[in-house]
Structures are given as C-alpha cells and as structure tokens.
Structure 1
Amino acid sequence: MSTESTAYAADLEAIHQVVATVEHSQQHKDPDEFLSLFHPDAVWTTSGGRVLLGLDAISEFTRAVLPAADWDGKVTYEVVHVSFIRPDVAAVKVRQLYSTSGEEGAPLYVMSKQDGRWLLTACQNTGVVTG
C-alpha cells in the first residue's frame, strides 16, 4: 500500500471517528464531548436555521439545548459520503436517524485538518421532510 493511500485511509477513519463522537455526544447529551470536535472559528447552522458563528456561540447554544433536549437519546449518525476538497478539507454528508420518532436529518459537515486532527468547521444540520 502506498503512503498516499495509507494517509487517505487514515483520514477517512479519523473523519468517521469524528462522526461517531458526534453520535456518542448526542446520545449521552454531552456538550463538552460535542464541543471538543469544533474548530474555534467554526460556523454551525442549526436544523431550525439559526446561524452560530464561532465556538463561543456554538457552545452557548449547545450547553442550553443539548442537556435539556426532550428526546430519549436514541439517534445514529452514519457517514454517507466524503469528498476531499483538498487534502486538509473534506465535505462529509451524514445520515442522522432518531430511532424512536423516525425523524431523519441530513447534516453536511465541512471538516478541516488542524495539527493532524479533523475538526468540524462549517456545518449545516438539515432535517429531512417526508411526504
């Protein structure tokens, strides 16, 4: 296996791990774990369309909303597609499924690699409308 393909596989695995950590943090309603995944200058758009600029705004929103969420924590996140925009930037399409309600989300995470670590940098959390 070439060094390039080994690095690509390692980056894919690291991206999958970030999404797995998002899932874990949501299931356990753990704002600290969730916030540890963000670039300090990140942009987050909530499923309701609220735009949060920077880690401070994302943190304030997350700390108020995540622990108080009225759902049971049964949610899964699955990486459906990864497109490398450049070696240190990736667009990641995710399928989010709440098992109890059957609601589905289709987040898009733009991640950037900082000091060898993949971080959420520009994200849009979009609900899927059925019917």
Structure 2
Amino acid sequence: MSKRVITFGTFDVFHVGHLNILERCASLGDTLIVGVSSDELNYSKKQRYPIYDQESRLKITQSLRFVDEVFIENSLEKKREYISFYKADILAMGDDWQGKFDEFSDICEVIYFPRTPSISTTEIIEIAKNI
C-alpha cells in the first residue's frame, strides 16, 4: 500500500537543511506533499516577511524531484484539515516541533526528524545582514 507523507515549512532562503528534511520525509512514503507557509502566515509567526515571496518559495520547493505536490499553507489552525484533504498517512516535521503535532496521531502517524546541525535560515539571514 502506498504511503502519503505531508510536511510543512516556510522554506525561505532554501539551504541544505531544508533539502535534508524534505529528502527524509520523501523516504517515508511514495508521495510527498509540502505545505509552504504563506507570506502572511510567516509574518504572523515571526513578525517579518520571508526574504523570498511565497510564489518563489513554492517554485523552489516544487522543483525538487522527490516533491510530488505543493500547496500554500494559510493557517496553522488548519493542519488537521490539510492532513485530511491530502489523505496523508504520515505527518513528518523537524524535531524543533517535537510533541507539537502529536494531537494528529489519531488520523496519521507523526514523525519528527532531527534538524541538520549548525544551519538555520535565521542564522543565514543574520550573517548576510552583517556582511
């Protein structure tokens, strides 16, 4: 039976950490669906807009050969709806979200992956600002 995997993220200033987690998510099943945070959602979470707009982030994520489907995530409160709509068997996230999505284990398996050490979008942005 084929497995459908869903994950969510901003995927701003795309880097090897993003690539690693998306590859790990893809390895869990046959179909990988990625929810990319909208510009407005990112602003509401972090009080700043992403460096790359949502269409650019969507296009970058879509271009990966192991990503099957991409959509814009407009609300953190709709994760359950997104999981159900895309018929996901597995929700996979980075371990910086450990425990935060366990509530969805009634409708799918929830897996947390370790983040790639020593890399984060926030750090990259800070370094770039100081060059």
Q: TM-score over 0.5 for the alignment?
A: no
Structure having the higher helix fraction is 2
Q: Which one has a larger percent strand, Structure 1 or Structure 2?
A: 1
TM-score (structure 1 length as normaliser): 0.29
TM-score (norm 2): 0.29
Which gives a bigger RCO, structure 1 or 2 (Cα 8 Å, sep 6+)?
Answer: 2
